[in-house]
Amino acid sequence: MPHILYEKRGERTLAVQHRLTEILHLHKAVEVVYVAQGEAAFLTGGETFPLAQGEVSVAFPMCPHAYGGRDPLIAYLLVLELDEVPLLAPVLKGNRPLRPVVRDPDGRIGDLFRRALAAQEADGLYREEIVRGYLQVLLAEILQQMQLEDRPDHDLTTMEKLLLYCNDHYTEPLSLDRLARALGVSRYYISRVFSAKVHMSFPEYINALRVAAAKRLLRETEQSVAAVAEAAGFSGPRVFGRCFEAQTGLSPRAYRKKKKQNG
């Protein structure tokens, strides 16, 4: 079982990743990973699917999933809210794939990813419409290669509820008591689920979520370390520094400097 990390999603993510963080999470968005170079693995539904160069994985909404990867790796990551692809939303919400990995034999999917990334970086009055158009076609290209089956309506499991609540609220002060009240279960039961299913304690999990968010902010913004700590949900810079170094082996400043040097 991989370590569980999560970057909170509130908007579209379209980016090149040189390392796929090992994560276990679920959300209401669709998540697509295309391996342009190297090898990775996609974990979902209790199975592990190898991801070779030229292959793409799709995590349908509300399906817990995780990744593993090998260096060197270049992957395209897309996390997309369903309201951005209204024509495909019913398919994504009402179905699940028999196999969540497909190949890109003629390079069309990779080309669409590259075009969408280029459009995202370009200026222009209709930039958003162009990007959204590419992403709509991209998802359609992938879905037509998948065998889908109906996804029956079902109540979320307790683990799914726990993951979803933590993913939505990790930047806020969280405790076992608050989680127990929100979900109507006991503290002991929550601790047991984390131990048996997640293989981490509740505090370890929350700190992992926060460190993952902090890493993204350190890479992508010029916010001060104190501001990053607050935005990620830490109670202060000292606690942030200890947790961050324990998980990454680097201080937040050293991590930012290394990422800038490596491009």
Question: How far, in whole angstroms, is CA 195 from its chain's centroid?
Answer: 22
Dist. CA 248–CA 211, nearest whole Å: 9
More confident residue, 234 or 46: 234
Q: Which residue has the higher pLDDT, 220 or 19?
A: 220
Please state the rounded mean pLDDT for residues 122-148.
Answer: 94
**What's the CATH number of domain 13-150, 2.60.120.280, 2.60.260.20, 2.70.210.12, 3.20.20.70?**
2.60.120.280
Of 192 and 152, the structure prediction assigns the larger pLDDT to 192
Average pLDDT over residues 106-122: 94
Residue predicted with more confidence, 159 or 36: 36
Backbone angles phi, psi at 36, to 5 degrees: -85, -30
- Amino acid residing at 251: S
- How does pLDDT run across 183-230, given as a tens digit for each residue? 999 999 999 888 887 778 899 989 988 998 898 889 888 999 999 999
Q: Is the pLDDT of residue 6 over 70?
A: no
- Of residues 130 and 220, more confidently modeled: 130
pLDDT at 4: 33
Q: Per DSSP, what are the bridge partners of residue 95?
A: 150
Please state the three-class secondary structure of 10-28 as a single string: CCCEEEEECCCCCCCECCC
Q: Does the pLDDT value for residue 232 go beyond 60?
A: yes
96 versus 197: the higher-pLDDT residue is 96
What does pLDDT average to over the chain? 87
Token reading at 73: 């790796």
What pLDDT score was predicted for residue 20? Answer: 78
Domain with CATH 1.10.10.60 in the chain: 158-261
| More confident site: 219 or 179 | 179
User: What pLDDT, in 10s, does the model give residues 65-80?
Assistant: 888 877 788 999 999 9
What does pTM read for this prediction?
0.76
SS3 162: helix
The whole-number pLDDT of residue 111 equals 96
Listed in order, the ranges of the chain carrying CATH 2.60.120.280 are 13-150
**Pairing of β 95-97 and β 148-150:** antiparallel
| Fold of the domain spanning 158-261 | Arc Repressor Mutant, subunit A (1.10.10)
What distance separates the 2 farthest-apart alpha carbons in the chain?
54
